[in-house]
Amino acid sequence: AGPPSGPRNRRPSRSPPRGAAAVPFAPRPCLVLRTRPEAYRVRMTTTYAALLRGINVSGHRRVPMAELRELLSELGHRDVRTYLQSGNAVFTSDSDDESALAAALERAIERRFGFTVDTLVRGAAYLRAVAEECPFPAATLEAKQLHATYFSGPVDAERFAGVDRAAYLPEDFRLGDRVLYLYTPNGLGRSKLAEALARPGLLKGVTATSRNWNTVVKLVELTRA
């Protein structure tokens, strides 16, 4: 036999009582939180190296490294460090615009010291690629035998078409991504090829600054995350 019928076993009715007007369904209002989009942005920080050209040479165009660190900190950069007196500074920044970073530092230097210093800013990944893609056997060479010249922009082989590489052997050079690798087995000071590459007009419109291979490797270490 089935369960006894009665009021206790009846399912409650979802329909309105007889004679009552039906009430239309009204959803509950949602609570909307209005938040600024930037509140959810993750701040991306990049480590850079600033490469200054032609400072602290024979007492001219002096830029003390302590003051260079101070300038970079005043520009809002963090983790500021310098390496040697030739103008190598490492810092972190939220900006991803290398050209803007370089221009801001050039302006700050001119305001502080009264002269212009051409500056390149390069990120950690680029600096590492320069070291890894060297076409010469860097591990077997002395630092004075290998140099990297960093350029402010792309430089193609056409610029150097007038340089007869065979005439300078065993010295040699190769081009990379905004960089020139220079091999000078007897050192840079006695290099005839280096003189040829430094001819006026050869790099017209391009800022260039050179570092020996010890500095190239050190910049990779200092900018490593």
Q: Give CA separation, 79 vs 46, 118, 128, 222, 225, in Å.
A: 11, 22, 19, 11, 12
The CATH homologous superfamily to which domain 46-223 belongs is SP0830-like domains (3.30.70.1280)
pLDDT tens, residue by residue, 131-181: 999 999 999 999 889 999 999 999 999 999 999 999 999 999 999 999 999
40-90 per-position pLDDT tens digit: 555 689 999 999 999 998 888 999 999 999 999 999 999 999 999 999 999
* Mean predicted lDDT score pLDDT of the chain: 88
Residue that the structure tokens 């260039």 belong to: 208
Domain borders along the chain are 46-223
